[in-house]
Chain A
Amino acid sequence: MSTLTEAPPPLTPAAPAKKPPRRRGRWTPYWLLLPGLLWLVVFFALPMIYQASTSVQTGSLEQGYKVTWHFATYWNALGDYWPQALRSVLYAAAATVLCLLLGYPLAYLIAFRAGRWRNLIMILVIAPFFTSFLIRTLAWKTILADGGPVVGALNTLHVLDVTDWLGWTAGDRVLATPLAVVCGLTYNFLPFMILPLYTSLERIDGRLHEAAGDLYAKPSTTFRKVTFPLSMPGVVSGTLLTFIPASGDYVNAELLGSTDTRMIGNVIQTQFLRVLDYPTAAALSFILMAAILLMVTFYIRRSGTEDLV
């Protein structure tokens, strides 16, 4: 019953088909992408161009604005507001470092030590999101209130003397000082550090720790040589997700700080919504964007976009 024709040796390549086979759904990806990308182009990319153009316009609200390629706006803005810009970088960097130091143990705890409590702790990390962050930031006003238990304790321990000397706090106040702003920033963006850290820690095979221990590594060495390097993707995206929003934030500086702790975000907000000096606001916003993009590009070189997206 088996009647089979064997393949003849293919001495010459078979004649090419007359028509290339019709590719099914060649356009499907583009149709899928179109609406979402269009949205991003119109409401994200296009505004950036408008903003770039606004930053080099001159004029006034009454007479309207014209593009005059007035780049001096940039120099003036930088000249006037460099302290706020510098402060933004410093506060955001401090908050990022604090987030990493505070967030790593918790992410590690959830990933390796929490056992059956893992889900509960995860919920507790995420659930505060549902209480508006403004309400939670206002709560810090109560926690750090003058003469409250936290300030009292710091005073008794003479911590405030040190921070006062460093310029982080003023007298026996914590509210309305850089320390309060950094504390608020750290608090607000901590989950954005913990979640990516947890994701990359969770992927690490627990047996690697045993293997390292088996190969004569002390727990601290295991951490330095095995765990930490393997969690680098989480560290990179966590620091980005913390530093970027922190550098542009103005809520913490407004609610917990004073006029001496204003950040670049406060300036942009004031110029745009109160002073109505659109060119200056646009120029500052553009400077912030450029600085962030430079930093992100540097980071992406080391980690690759696909990791972060």
Chain B
Amino acid sequence: MKTTNDSGGDVRLTGIGKTYGSFTAVHPLDLTVPQGSFFALLGASGCGKTTTLRMIAGLEEPTTGTVHLGDQDVTRLPPYKRPVNTVFQSYALFPHLDIFENVAFGLRRRGIKSVKKQVEDMLELVQLGEQARKKPHQLSGGQQQRVAVARALINHPKVLLLDEPLGALDLKLRRQMQLELKRIQTEVGITFVHVTHDQEEAMTMADTVAVMNAGRVEQLGAPADLYENPRSTFVANFLGTSNLIQAEVDTRSGDDIVLRAGGGKLVLPAARCTAPTAAGGKVLVGVRPEKIALTHADDAGSIPEGRNRITGTIADASFIGVSTQYVVDSAVCPELAVYAQNVERDGRLVPGAEVVLHWSPAHTFGLDADQDIDAGVGSVEEEAA
């Protein structure tokens, strides 16, 4: 698992950590971002993701560890000597310079005389050729964001760092800019390291996501992998929604573990369980809301054999167009979330109805029950507010 060839643009963090007095912002961590990848650091505010980014940029000095770009140790280099550029949160465009001079700033500082052609080409790439002589405050948020990207990219950095680059934009523009940034990244082939608190943004754009919590990397992997196989309650709750049900290990049969939850039994593939599985041990059983099917109790007989099932009562149903979101109270676990596609709606599924929730054991995952079951729930809402 080592990239030795063409590692000029790899970012290698070795044991890098940051403490302020007695507060540890980032616990020593190792991380390698391969050249050309789109890497996202995802976490709630204060989790250490921005500090990590700033240590790569050189704006923050690490307390421990080293930063390598390819084979070069840049740990002690000031930011203006690093081949790394940053797109700042709220852009930090120079208010006293026009768009052209903002974009030309880095080139001029490196003593490049003829910048006109390069700057114009770059402004074309971000579709701002017309605005070259305007001041930043005369541009819309989305345009300012593109100037910030152009200002950084024109220097052909080995790595482009993006600190919550879309945080100030409204939802629709954010979606548009996500695709735009992805397009630019594919076009220029530069390594992007992107810090965000928005899990959808991270999953849409990045090929690899590192979920950070309290100064540590909780889990790292491709977006789909993180979503399907969360390894902690924080990841399970922070990326999308998870139903977590407390259960006890009953027996082991082949590759599956059989668990007791309330009166019923649930089956979980052993490979998808990160908790110890000795008989009698506690396990949190997880399942995503869209994986669950909802059947009225009268039709319980029609449910195929071999599926996990739980009975309950619908407490609330909200129709949101493509799907209907149900909240189901069950003896096993209160407030289970179920997302049902609006293909054929069963008119009997209204609040108060007795229902059976059922899903394939293959969609079940198991987590260590010693964790906070609600970790990562509140932080999503806080950020949204």
Contacts and interface: CB of A to CB of B under 8 A. Distances in A.
Direct contact of A and B (CB under 8 A): yes
Interface in B20-57: 27-34, 36-37
B28 A10 contact: yes
Contacts of A21: 61-63, 76
B180 interface: no
B267 interface: no
Interface in B50-96: 61-65, 76, 78
B338 interface: no
Interface in A12-29: 13-17, 21-24
A3 B220 contact: no
Chain B contact patch, size range: 20 to 34
A6 B36 contact: no
A4 interface: yes
A4 to B, nearest CB: 6
A123 B76 CA distance: 52
B64 A4 contact: no
Contact of A2 (B2, B27, B63, B222): B222
B67 to A, nearest CB: 12
Contact of B34 (A2, A7, A13, A22): A2
Chain A contact patch, size range: 10 to 19
Nearest to B12: A5
Nearest to B33: A4
B1 interface: yes
A5 B61 contact: no
Contacts of A157: none
B220 A4 contact: yes
A2 B217 contact: no
A2 B30 contact: no
Contacts of B216: 7, 10
A212 to B, nearest CB: 27
B30 A3 contact: no
Contacts of B36: 1
A8 interface: yes
B207 interface: yes
Contacts of A22: 76
23 contacts: A1-B34, A2-B34, A2-B207, A2-B222, A3-B2, A3-B34, A4-B31, A4-B32, A5-B30, A5-B31, A6-B217, A7-B216, A10-B27, A10-B28, A14-B17, A14-B64, A15-B64, A16-B64, A17-B63, A21-B61, A21-B63, A22-B76, A24-B78
Interface of B: 1-3, 15, 17, 27-34, 36-37, 61-65, 76, 78, 207-208, 216-217, 220, 222
Given A1-B36, A2-B222, A16-B64, 12 more contacts: A1-B34, A2-B208, A3-B2, A4-B32, A4-B220, A6-B217, A7-B217, A10-B28, A13-B28, A14-B64, A17-B64, A21-B63
Q: Which 7 A-B pairs have the closest CB atoms?
A: A14-B28, A7-B29, A21-B61, A14-B64, A7-B217, A14-B15, A10-B27
